Amino acid sequence: MSTKIKICGLTKPEDIELLNALEVELAGFVFYKPSPRHLNQDRAAQIASRCRPEMQRVALLVDPSDDEVDMALAAISPHHIQLHGHETPERVSEIRRRGACDIIKALPIESADDFATARDYAEVANWFLFDAKPSPDGLPGGNGDAFDWTQISAYDQSQAYLLAGGLNAQNVARAIEISRAPMVDISSGVESAPGEKDPQQIEQFVKAVRFADTIGKE
């Protein structure tokens, strides 16, 4: 089975055109004001409208209010809402009902013990996203830090997951080999500056993932 790719933090229409050409499976749009990749409703709608029909749109939110959820829904009609904050299972369930779409719950990972948190969200999350635990002053995601991929062996839930944090074209094949991740997620690893996606780096990353798929996950 091929590894799905999610490119997150897209900020320009030309980003989408490249992802369309490369047949990337998921496109992520950030609705979190402190992030350099934040989009307002109009800008997000303009960019997301370029997505080819087969591409799945993901709205990234952090501890959102109902109004913020509604704004993201109106902007991009997401297939998935990715929650990157401290949302409780109860709040995730509320957002899932409100959005009527799948939920990706991001979980910060520092040690193998952190995967136990997934059990709390087993009834409300469709997928998980495992990212390195940020520093106290860091953003919830997109920091370019990696965790020990071998720790994923501690994950014991049935939901599929995305591997994120510190990935790039040079290490993603190794990351897939170690983690057996069915999906990978990248943002800062394909940027020339925060919020500025680099076309060459995106192409190299996609090529590296596709190459990893050809050699298989044995």
* C-alpha span between 77 and 70 (Å, rounded): 10
Identify the active-site residue in 15, 51, 101, 131.
Answer: 131
The label of the residue with tokens 């087969």 reads 54
* C-alpha span between 15 and 27 (Å, rounded): 10
* C-alpha span between 209 and 215 (Å, rounded): 10
* C-alpha span between 69 and 32 (Å, rounded): 11
Active site annotation includes 148: no
Active site annotation includes 8: yes
* C-alpha span between 214 and 207 (Å, rounded): 11
CA separation (Å) from 20 to 16, 40, 133, 154? 6, 22, 31, 35
Identify the active-site residue in 8, 51, 101, 185.
Answer: 8
Active site residues: 8, 131
